[in-house]
Amino acid sequence: METIDRDGVPGEEKTFDVFNPATGEIVDTLTLDSLESIEEKIMALHKGFQTWSKTSAEERSGLLYKWYEKIMDHQHELAKLITLENGKPYSEALGEVAYAAKYLQWYSEEAKRIYGRTIPASSTKKRIVITRKPIGVVAAITPWNFPAAMITRKVGPALAAGCTFIVKPAPETPLTAFEMFRLGYEAGIPKDVMCCVLAEGKVVGELFTASPLIRKITFTGSTAVGKQLLKNSASTVKHTSMELGGHAPLIIDKDANLDLAVQQTLVSKFRNAGQTCICANRLIVHQSIAERFVEKLVQAASTLKVGNGMEDGIAIGPIINKQGYEKIIGQLEDACSRGAVVALGGSHHGDDEAGTYFVWPTILTNVDESMRIMHEETFGPIAPVITFTEIEDAVRLANDTPYGLAAYFFTENMKRGIYLSEHLKYGIIGWNDGGPSTVQAPFGGMKESGMGREGGIEGIEPYLETKYVSINIA
Ligand code: ADP
């Protein structure tokens, strides 16, 4: 399902359709921004920065808080939009709206805590003063899997720091973005402080990275696109934050609480139909408990209903598009052709004419490292189970990937837990926890999963410059 005319040259008033991935129906038809209009908006944000960066922290804080309240007042409308254009179950969409809004709340508070410092100088005639300054105009490019939250965790800290902000949301899910921005303007945030534009990814990526007026690029999406943006950002030496792909291992150790592990594995693996960058991609299970764990997981996952996320009781919505679906099925077929055994599911349904794609929760056993699913990000509801006997082997398997975003493990044994948390090369670790994302903690990856952190006190740092003033009072 192609949601945007990739041959379209912005500037010719190109339109594209936003589809409901559960039904294939057109939800809305939008017009692409022309390159000229995007440049004008960047110029307006550049001018807006002169004023916004000089507002008081109190004022920025108040506006962000009002935006947070507006979003919560409209949480049901926003959640419906998310389910319509992204497909995730309505209850998950409601959860995303609350999570997204909390970034605005948290950074409305952090706006007031951007501290400088003074340092004792070597001479009594000198003073050393360090201040923090907003970086300038920030450009963001965001994905479709969290149409609201991936934007607020960038715009919240950017505005709190005193930066102005432009975002290009994913073509699959622009409606949530526009509605959130409408609410932000209603809350009183000026249009020359933040705006949302629509254009083809590559075109806007090149425009953002080449623009001397933009001082920072913040991106969430695939590692391939992130690498391109990093390369292109070199020409103007921009600051960059990259939140890229993942390939999360989830280790179940021999002394895990199995019921807890099963319940948390469901959360980690099947949320958003497996389409998050921190979804468990590989289940690494101790040989001695593997059979019992798989039995319990199969039983639990078999209750997950697949379908249109607007309907009651649906736990797994559609796959976002044909490309995503084909990748998942490709990995499934590859694993089966190499000897994987389907313990649950394996079924899928793609209707090219309607543009709808569904994959049922699937658990694979008899998995080995030759299979693509053990090395490629799946972004779908397939859980391959591989076994280990020595803890060092579990760590080796877990770290055997260029990614380093999230890793999970389940153990009741303190020593083994500490060993695992210290040896897993990942930015986010869930110990007996399949859902570690929360606004007050730093989210981000090591290795090719990216650079920089979002959320927590770390999340505002990338929007600040350090200025050192040396004062000679001799
Ligand atoms: P995903 O697989 O999550 O869709 P992508 O990296 O393809 O990951 O997309 C994430 C965001 O990046 C989307 O907003 C998309 O439109 C945008 N995008 C895609 N290709 C490029 C590109 N070459 N340059 C800049 N942005 C791009």
Residue 279 annotated to the active site: no
Going by the DSSP 8-state scheme, the letter that residue 313 receives in this structure is T
Which of ligand 1's atoms lies nearest the C-alpha of 224? 6
What superfamily would CATH give domain 248-431? Aldehyde Dehydrogenase; Chain A, domain 2 (3.40.309.10)
Ligand 1 pocket residue status of 53, Cβ below 6 Å: no
Ligand 1 pocket residue status of 228, Cβ below 6 Å: yes
Q: How far is the CA of 200 from the centre of ligand 1 (A)?
A: 9
| pLDDT value of position 1 | 34
Tell me how far apart the alpha carbons of residues 320 and 446 are, in angstroms, rounded to a whole number.
Answer: 27
Tell me how far apart the alpha carbons of residues 320 and 114 are, in angstroms, rounded to a whole number.
Answer: 39
CA angle 73, 77, 81 (to 5 degrees): 140
What superfamily would CATH give domain 15-244+450-469? Aldehyde Dehydrogenase; Chain A, domain 1 (3.40.605.10)
Which are the contacts of 182, defined by CB distance < 8 A and separation ≥ 6? none
Q: How far is the CA of 27 from the centre of ligand 1 (A)?
A: 21
Question: Which of 277, 279, 448, 454 is flagged as catalytic?
Answer: 277
Q: How far is the CA of 171 from the centre of ligand 1 (A)?
A: 9
Residue 12 annotated to the active site: no
Q: How far is the CA of 143 from the centre of ligand 1 (A)?
A: 7
Which of ligand 1's atoms lies nearest the C-alpha of 220? 10
Site to substitute for ligand 1 among 33, 141, 176, 218, most atoms within 8 A of C-beta? 141
Q: What is the pTM for the complete model shown?
A: 0.96
Q: Which residue has the least CA distance to atom 2 on ligand 1?
A: 222
Tell me how far apart the alpha carbons of residues 35 and 305 are, in angstroms, rounded to a whole number.
Answer: 44
Can you read off the two tokens belonging to residue 44? 């307006």
Domain with CATH 3.40.605.10 in the chain: 15-244+450-469
CA distances from 244 to 158, 384, 428 (A): 19, 22, 13
Q: How far is the CA of 172 from the centre of ligand 1 (A)?
A: 11
**3-class DSSP assignment, residue 209:** helix
Ligand 1 pocket residue status of 278, Cβ below 6 Å: no
Q: Which residue has the least CA distance to atom 26 on ligand 1?
A: 201
Is 390 exposed, middle or buried, given 0-12, 13-18 or 19+ CB atoms closer than 10 A? exposed
pLDDT per residue, tens digit, the chain (474 aa), is: 334 443 444 455 789 999 999 999 999 999 999 999 999 999 999 999 999 999 999 999 999 999 999 999 999 999 999 999 999 999 999 999 999 999 999 999 999 999 999 999 999 999 999 999 999 999 999 999 999 999 999 999 999 999 999 999 999 999 999 999 999 999 999 999 999 999 999 999 999 999 999 999 999 999 999 999 999 999 999 999 999 999 999 999 999 999 999 999 999 999 999 999 999 999 999 999 999 999 999 999 999 999 999 999 999 999 999 999 999 999 999 999 999 999 999 999 999 999 999 999 999 999 999 999 999 999 999 999 999 999 999 999 999 999 999 999 999 999 999 999 999 999 999 999 999 999 999 999 999 999 999 999 999 999 999 999 999 999
Q: How far is the CA of 225 from the centre of ligand 1 (A)?
A: 6
Domain with CATH 3.40.309.10 in the chain: 248-431
Question: Which of 200, 243, 377, 448 is flagged as catalytic?
Answer: 243
Where do we find the tokens 């730093």?
442
Q: Which residue has the least CA distance to atom 17 on ligand 1?
A: 201
User: Left if phi > 0, otherwise alpha if psi is -120 to 50, otherwise beta: which for 117?
Assistant: beta
Ligand 1 pocket residue status of 141, Cβ below 6 Å: yes
Tell me how far apart the alpha carbons of residues 282 and 272 are, in angstroms, rounded to a whole number.
Answer: 17
Residue 436, CA atoms < 13 Å, CB-side half-sphere: 25
Ligand 1 pocket residue status of 221, Cβ below 6 Å: yes
Can you read off the two tokens belonging to residue 350? 């793609």
Q: Which residue has the least CA distance to atom 24 on ligand 1?
A: 202
Q: Which residue has the least CA distance to atom 18 on ligand 1?
A: 201
Encoded amino acid at 106, one letter: W
Phi then psi dihedrals of residue 445, to 5 deg = -120, 165
Tell me how far apart the alpha carbons of residues 153 and 318 are, in angstroms, rounded to a whole number.
Answer: 25
Tell me how far apart the alpha carbons of residues 455 and 462 are, in angstroms, rounded to a whole number.
Answer: 11
